[in-house]
Chain A
C-alpha cells in the first residue's frame, strides 16, 4: 500500500490479557515511531526504531510494553497484562530517513481495556 497501515483498527481486551498491535510502515522508510494518544490529548512518544534497531524506548510507560521490528520493516507493539489505563489510540508513524523529517502516520489502533 501507499501509506502506513495498522492492524487491528479496533481491539477490545479484558484486563489482564496480552495484546499485539501491528504496524506496516511505508516501504523503504528507515524510521518507525510508536505513539500513544489518550482521549483529548496529543500523541505521546513511546519508542523509535531506525531499521531494526530500537534507538529510544524512553516513552514506554512500563515493562509491560514491548516493541520490536526484527527485519527493519513491520513492527509490533505488545502490551502484556493490559490495564484500563492502557486504553488509548496507538499510532504508528514512519519517515524516510533517520532524524529530523516528516513523519507519515497510520490510522491508529483503538485499544479498549474492559
Chain B
C-alpha cells in the first residue's frame, strides 16, 4: 500500500519557466517531508525539507509547500534550468527513522 504517491511519472518544462512537482500522502501522522533529486546511476541527493509545523520552506530556486489538510505537498522550481532535469522523489516520515518514498517524477527541462 503506497503511503506516498507521485501521480505524475514525468513532466516537461521550458527553461526559465516554473516546474511544479506534486506529492500526496495518506498517513496523517507524517510530520516531516523531504524532496530528493536523482540522476541516473547515482544515489538520491537531498534538496529541501519541511516539517509539519510549517507550510512553506524556501531555499534559493526551490520552494516546498505543505497543505496538511489536503495531505499534499509540492516542490516549485523557479526558474527551471536544464541541469534540473532528473527524477525527483518526495519522502515522508512519522518517526524520523523510517522514510516512505514516492515513485518519482522525471523532470525534463527543455533548453
Contact = CB atoms under 8 A, between A and B. Distances in A.
Interface of A: 4, 31, 33, 35, 40-45, 48, 55-56, 58-59, 91, 93, 98-108
Q: For chain B, which range describes its interface: under 10, 10 to 19, 20 to 34, or 35 or more residues? A: 20 to 34
A56 B98 contact: yes
B39 to A, nearest CB: 10
B102 A42 contact: yes
Q: At the interface, is chain A mostly helix, strand, loop or mixed? A: loop
Nearest to A31: B97
Interface stretch (B42-50, B53-61, B70-78): B42-50
Contacts of A106: 43
A43 B46 contact: no
Contact of A105 (B45, B95, B97): B45
Interface of B: 4, 6, 32, 34, 36, 41-46, 49, 51, 89, 91, 93, 95-104
A4 B42 CA distance: 11
B70 to A, nearest CB: 21
A91 B43 contact: yes
27 contacts: A4-B43, A35-B101, A41-B103, A41-B104, A42-B4, A42-B103, A44-B101, A45-B98, A55-B97, A56-B97, A56-B98, A58-B98, A59-B98, A91-B43, A98-B97, A99-B97, A100-B93, A101-B96, A102-B34, A102-B46, A102-B49, A103-B99, A104-B46, A105-B44, A105-B45, A107-B42, A108-B43
Contacts of B95: 99
Contacts of A42: 4, 6, 89, 91, 101-104
A35 B36 CA distance: 14
A107 B41 contact: yes
B46 to A, nearest CB: 5
A37 B96 CA distance: 20
A108 B39 CA distance: 12
A97 B101 CA distance: 20
